[in-house]
Structure 1
Amino acid sequence: EKYELKEVTVPRQPNIPKRLQHGPTEQFHAKTVKEYYCPQYFQIMDIISTQLIQRFAQEGLLVYEKLEHYLLTGQASEVLPQYPEIEYHLLSAQITTLSSVYKYTSVSEVVDILRKMPARERCFFSQVQKIVRILLTIPASSCEAERSFSALRRLKTWLRSTMTQKRLNHVAICNIHRDIMDKLDIEAIAKEFAMCCDRRKKVFRF
């Protein structure tokens, strides 16, 4: 009553044409709401479960997970040979040293430790820096790339068909990283643009 919701009822269930009926089995008609929606509920849950398994079983995500696990635990991983720029023996020793001095449970905490570390001390963890850069740059899944391509459909429409590639790239970056763009001071940017030359100063009256 509070939300003015109608009572859930069993909708009309059409009969299967006789020409499509095979065998003596009678057509099932749900008599209650539970009987009608229960098969649909389990079908939806099965689809969701399957999609989640497929999403998190991507090869890139598994590689990311193994690299992260190695950085946090120091246990050997078979994905390291894929990155010849990493010296395995040095990395193992550096992770052991880092974990004995600092406490961390995530990649972001390792990043914070390296950022706060003095430069002369950070140079002793060169291989740790390499694996952190890899973890921060490789895409864990294709979701972000797919969202970026979906954004292009909204950015370059039929009304913007004359947009050049350079401008499209800039607009796409602004759209993809709009969380950063929202924090920018628009007035400060406009003032900086207007102060670049004398002509702009006269036009914008600065």
Structure 2
Amino acid sequence: MSASNSESASRAEGLHVRLQQGNVVLGLMLALDVIRELELLNTSLQKRTQTVEGMVSAVSVVQESLRSKRKSDHFEAVFKEAEDMVEKLSLEPIALPRTQRPPKRYSGPAPAHRPASAVEFHRVEFYRVLDKVDTQLTDRFMQPGIDALKELEALLLTPTASNVERDAQRNAEKYPELQWEDLKIQLAMFKNKYNYKTTADAAQLLKAMPVEVRALFAQVETVVRLLMVVPASSAEAERSFSGLRRLKTWLRSTTTQKRVNGMAVCHIHQERLDKLNSKDIAQQYIQGKDRRREIFGSFT
């Protein structure tokens, strides 16, 4: 392919040259050291059963783990692993990148700083990534709005003891939709009658109630609605849109709008789709035409 003049050949050749460099191997290993934990956090935050309190706790655990990597011993272990891989694969050794001198209007007459070794240079860059990730997690998840959601969720999920009733009342009074005296009675009845651990569990209980019983917990339903309109994670909705984008990329040109809509619905409701009997669906498809019956036979 390298002898070809196509665009794909040029990209492949450039990628091959890059992957021969030890600096690229080290960069990938350092990035993987951070991304693996962020992927675990993403998986945790995308669960439907996630709570605001649990979300913040998971973020704190990941932050502590990433901060523990900001040590010379950890970096040198990853650097040694990368060096061993470079030597094993006979790649270009890890080296300092080419020095770029900043403009004099920024640095003045002082000489430009140059790291003494590749270890020193890459350690600084790795720490910079860790600091950036930590700052972004703090900015996104440690906000006043998150604290307000935690307080509202605590009304629903935390047992209301007498020593914290005053705090619960103060939290409830922040919302004009809530009447504390009614909410206090309804929460006591709801928590005594039903077992639930998340807002989603409480919502399912309310949906399954007869109208007359549900009317007894009008204030509890209001709390659930307030929490449900601000979900702990929007990843599920974002996944559905990205899935539709992927469908449009390579299927849309040969697929009707009706069929694209059907595939998008199947993608969004994967859990319900998994519960269907595939043999029944196949049998229904076969019975649509005689030609299909001749080709596929029967699934019963």
Q: Same-fold call, TM > 0.5?
A: yes
| Shift, 1:114, TM fit | 6.2
Structure with higher helix content: 2
Asked whether the equivalents of residues 61 and 141 of structure 1 are also in contact (C-alpha less than 8 Å), the reply is no
Greater mean alpha carbon deviation, residues 47-56 or residues 2-11? 2-11
Alignment of 1:115-154 (within 5 A): 124-136=216-228, 138-154=230-246
Match of residue 5, structure 1, among 67, 85, 88: 85
**1:45 match:** 130
**Cα distance between partner residues in 2 of 1:192 and 1:70:** 49
- Is 1:71 the counterpart of 2:156? The answer is yes
Asked whether the equivalents of residues 58 and 141 of structure 1 are also in contact (C-alpha less than 8 Å), the reply is no
RMSD: 4.3
**2:100 match:** 16
- Is 1:30 the counterpart of 2:119? The answer is no
**Cα distance between partner residues in 1 of 2:147 and 2:81:** 47
Structure 1 unaligned spans of 5+: none
Aligned length: 199
| Shift, 1:178, TM fit | 2.7
Q: TM-score, normalised by structure 2?
A: 0.49
| Shift, 1:110, TM fit | 4.3
- Counterpart amino acid of residue 174 in structure 1: C
**Cα distance between partner residues in 1 of 2:118 and 2:266:** 49
Asked whether the equivalents of residues 104 and 110 of structure 1 are also in contact (C-alpha less than 8 Å), the reply is yes
Q: 1:92 to 1:31 in 2, by over 3 A?
A: same
| Greater relative contact order (CA < 8 Å, ≥ 6 in sequence) | 2
Q: Deviations over 1:5-63 (max 9, x none)?
A: 2369651332335x834534222222234411222122111221222123325787566
Asked whether the equivalents of residues 91 and 128 of structure 1 are also in contact (C-alpha less than 8 Å), the reply is yes
| Shift, 1:175, TM fit | 1.7
Asked whether the equivalents of residues 186 and 220 of structure 2 are also in contact (C-alpha less than 8 Å), the reply is yes
- Counterpart amino acid of residue 236 in structure 2: E
Q: 1:138 to 1:161 in 2, by over 3 A?
A: farther
**2:65 match:** none
**1:175 match:** 267
Structure 2 unaligned spans of 5+: 1-79, 161-167
Q: TM-score, normalised by structure 1?
A: 0.66
Q: Matched residues, percent identical?
A: 35
Q: 1:193 to 1:54 in 2, by over 3 A?
A: farther
| Shift, 1:161, TM fit | 3.4
